[in-house]
Amino acid sequence: MENKALLNEVLEKAQTWLDGNYDLETKKAVRQMMDADDKTELVESFYRDLEFGTGGLRGIMGVGTNRMNIYTVGAATQGLSNYLKAQFANLPQISVVIGHDCRNNSRKFAEISADIFSANGIKVYLFEELRPTPEVSFAIRHFGCQSGIILTASHNPKEYNGYKAYWDDGAQMIAPHDENVISEVMKIKDVNEIKFKGNPDLIEIIGEDVDKLFIDNIKTISLSPESIKRNKDMKIVFTPIHGTAVKLVPRALKEYGFTNIIHVPEQDVVSGDFPTVYSPNPEEPAALDMAIKKAIETDADLVLATDPDSDRMGIAVKNDKNHWMLVNGNQTALIFVYYLIRRWKELGKLKGKEFIVKTIVTTEIIKEIAEKNHVECFDCYTGFKWIAAIIRENEATKQYIGGGEESYGFLPETFVRDKDAVSSCTLMAEISAWAKDNGKTLYELLQDIYLEYGYGKEKGISVVRKGKSGAEEIQKIMSDFRNNPPKELAGSNIVVIKDYKTLKQTNLATGEVTDLDMPVTSNVLQYFTEDGTKISVRPSGTEPKIKFYIEVRGDMKSRADYDAADTAANQKIEAARASLGV
């Protein structure tokens, strides 16, 4: 049972929902929680207000201040409206784009948000039906809007929904805008302050015209059109996992020139219940089971999958034993960066001002590829809003090539400012065709990257701790690691510690402490060992978990060494895991 002070606070907040201008169904649900002997659900629903994290507003759907519902979505939209009107007071017409994914209530939340924006005098471009997250970012830039939102919980389980807010560059908000919007939302103390009655004259439905422009732009990033022509009948299995890419990715692949797109019919069914998977996340091996089965049946060349809002992409390829294997997010980013830099170099596009971006928890091999080819590499925090911020800061003087993160997100263009699985799918298919043109499979291409730059393997471990007590436990875990750091990991001494909360880097060999050049602080710890192992520890900004990222390095002198290097890396990862106690 929660302490008495917290329970009283929760009961007081819940009572305001009973007394306020809320619908009868909502009030009935609140009353049931208040009358229940076990107050756990009541506490979980009201103990805090949903806040913007690395992925915006996200939570379980239901009644309460800590749940996704028309009132929390309404407060977020009203707060964002108030902020936009203050920031762009001199504009004759403020405008926003609204998109949504396949989740239950997403269309409802999108339409309510459109009503609220329009009631505040803001022009709304509302997509006619579900669309990929990257297309919303594209549309914001295309229409010259000041902001935009998409209703999505990305790859989270079906009980979740979310609300991503974007700024005028099409990127998710960072400080000060995210903090200022939160401040505006917190000022809304009464549901009556939310303007739910919309102005239809300010709501414009958009769709096909934007789709065409989006795909036309994606076609411009192609670097090997001749390879596609020679391998256009390559068999590509694609699954949207019930989500927003169901139409756009197959269409983009066909417009790229690929003619043999194989569907997984059961997963082409658009559904917020995700009936064929436990988790609609391409990071989860089970989510690609049906696609791989289809690939085996059809003797396909490549498997592509996207998450429900089509910003993450997962792939599977055949190995040297003709067995299908999943390619993880780090490896995918590695293939993208290697290909982009190599092709830019071969095409004479490298002029000395190019750069790539990766997050601090993503494989260090990417940085080594960039440095060897005289391409600048920026490190940033987890979340594509930070990659977009670096693009924005450098676009006037430097040329962006690509950027990605280990969590299956990549962006190979600048007309979108969020991770983009639509363009990533088309580019990965092109890379597969290019590799085939050069007598290699994608699997062999990955091996050749390791041969040139050294073998590396990564593993992400998530420790889930739900609810208020879980949040407190996560804080304690971080505090323990910060105050009592390990001395060694997997038998190798730690030589450098980076603490992004204090923005200090400590060299344990010399005792030298230097500053980390980052825009803001973040609750992330990193440990680097003598043998090249890197461990990152951070609480998730969108889910009730703490994440551990383990990267180890190894030796590989020929393709035949791949399995041995992989086995040794797995052993080292398990040893590091044991050292961490997770």
Does 475 have pLDDT greater than 50?
A: yes
What percent of the chain stands above pLDDT 70?
98
Same fold across 48-206 and 233-453: yes
Q: Which DSSP string corresponds to 62-124?
A: SSSTTSBSHHHHHHHHHHHHHHHHHHTTTSS--EEEEEE-SSTTHHHHHHHHHHHHHHTT-EE
Helices (H), 318-466: 329-346, 365-372, 384-394, 421-437, 442-453
Instruction: Round to whole Å and give the CA distance between 554 and 447.
Output: 13
Q: What is the pLDDT averaged over residues 438-453?
A: 97
CB 308 within 8 A of CB 102: yes
Look at residue 386 in the predicted model and tell me its pLDDT.
95
| Torsion from C-alpha of 192, 197, 201, 202, nearest 10 degrees | 40
Look at residue 55 in the predicted model and tell me its pLDDT.
57
Q: What is the CATH number of domain 455-580?
A: 3.30.310
Look at residue 576 in the predicted model and tell me its pLDDT.
94
Does 553 have pLDDT greater than 60?
A: yes
* Paired tokens of 249: 């990715």
CB 203 within 8 A of CB 114: yes
Confidence of residue 428 (pLDDT cuts 50, 70, 90): very high
What percent of the chain stands above pLDDT 90?
90
Q: What is the mean pLDDT of the chain?
A: 95
For the stretch 541-575, what's the b/e string if a residue is b when 16 or more beta carbons lie within 10 angstroms of its beta carbon?
A: bbbbbbbbbbbbbbebeeeebbeebeebbeebbeb
Does 514 have pLDDT greater than 80?
A: yes
| Torsion from C-alpha of 57, 63, 69, 70, nearest 10 degrees | -130
Does 266 have pLDDT greater than 60?
A: yes
Instruction: Round to whole Å and give the CA distance between 224 and 430.
Output: 7
Does 54 have pLDDT greater than 60?
A: no
Confidence of residue 468 (pLDDT cuts 50, 70, 90): confident
Look at residue 2 in the predicted model and tell me its pLDDT.
46
Which amino acid appears at position 451 of this protein? Answer: L
Look at residue 56 in the predicted model and tell me its pLDDT.
66
Read off the pLDDT of residues 154-204 as tens digits, 9 standing for 90 and up.
Answer: 888 999 999 999 999 999 998 899 888 888 988 998 999 999 999 999 999
Look at residue 542 in the predicted model and tell me its pLDDT.
64
CB 443 within 8 A of CB 236: no
- What is the number of residues in the chain? 582
Does 27 have pLDDT greater than 70?
A: yes
Catalytic positions, please? Answer: 154
pTM: 0.94
Instruction: Round to whole Å and give the CA distance between 197 and 78.
Output: 12
Does 29 have pLDDT greater than 70?
A: yes
Does CATH number 3.40.120.10 belong to domain 233-453?
Answer: yes
| Torsion from C-alpha of 466, 471, 472, 474, nearest 10 degrees | 100
Is the peptide bond between 200 and the residue preceding it cis, with omega within 30 degrees of 0? no
Cβ-in-10-Å burial (0-12, 13-18, 19+) of 37 comes to exposed
Q: For tokens 């609480």, what's the residue?
A: 539
Does 255 have pLDDT greater than 70?
A: yes
User: Structural domain boundaries of the chain?
Assistant: 48-206, 233-453, 455-580
CATH class of 48-206: alpha beta
Q: Which of 123-127, 184-188, 190-194, 414-418 has the lowest mean pLDDT?
A: 184-188
Cα 133 to Cα 244, 250, 411, 476: the distances in Å are 8, 16, 12, 35
Confidence of residue 69 (pLDDT cuts 50, 70, 90): very high
Closest C-alpha among 474, 528, 473 to residue 499: 528
Instruction: Round to whole Å and give the CA distance between 346 and 367.
Output: 20
Instruction: Round to whole Å and give the CA distance between 492 and 4.
Output: 48
Instruction: Round to whole Å and give the CA distance between 247 and 132.
Output: 10
